[in-house]
Amino acid sequence: MKKILPIIIIIASIASINHIVNNPPKSKRGKSSKKNKISVKTLKVNAKSFTPYLESFGYAQPSVKTKVLSQVSGKVIYLSDNFKDGSTFKKGELLVKVEDIEYQANEKIAQSKLILAQQKLLEAKAYTKQAEFEWGNQGNNTKPSDLVLKLPQLRSAQTDLLAAEAELQKAKLILSRTEIYAPYDGRVIDTDLTVSQVISNNALLANIYASNQIEISLPIKNKDLPLFDFDNIGSVVLKSHLSNSVFTGQIVRTQSLLDEQSKQLYCIALITPHSKLHVGEFLSAKIKVSPIKNAIVIPSEAIYQGQFVYIEKNNIIRKKDIEIAWSDSNHSIVSSGLHNNDSIILTKLGAVSSGTAVKVVNKATGVK
**pLDDT score of 218:** 94
Q: Which of the listed CATH numbers 2.40.420.20, 1.10.1330.10, 3.90.25.10, 3.40.190.10 matches domain 39-51+292-365?
A: 2.40.420.20
In 63-203, DSSP assigns E strands to 65-69, 74-79, 88-89, 94-98, 179-181, 186-191, 198-199
**Whether residue 35 has pLDDT greater than 50:** yes
**pLDDT score of 30:** 45
54-62+213-288, what's its fold? Answer: Elongation Factor Tu (Ef-tu); domain 3 (2.40.30)
**pLDDT score of 192:** 94
Q: Which of the listed CATH numbers 2.40.50.100, 1.10.3720.10, 1.25.40.20, 3.30.830.10 matches domain 65-99+178-210?
A: 2.40.50.100
Q: Model-level pTM?
A: 0.69
Tens-digit pLDDT profile for residues 281-324:
999 999 988 888 999 999 999 999 889 999 998 999 999 999 99
Percent of the chain with pLDDT over 90: 58
**pLDDT score of 13:** 65
Long-range contact pairs involving 190-195 (C-beta distance under 8 Å, separation at least 24): 190/85, 191/68, 191/83, 191/84, 191/85, 193/76, 193/79, 193/83, 193/96, 194/76, 194/79, 195/76, 195/77, 195/78, 195/79
Tens-digit pLDDT profile for residues 249-263:
999 888 888 888 888
Tens-digit pLDDT profile for residues 332-362:
999 999 999 999 999 988 778 888 888 888 7
**Whether residue 32 has pLDDT greater than 50:** no
Q: Which residues is 286 bridged to in the sheet?
A: 55, 237
**pLDDT score of 33:** 44
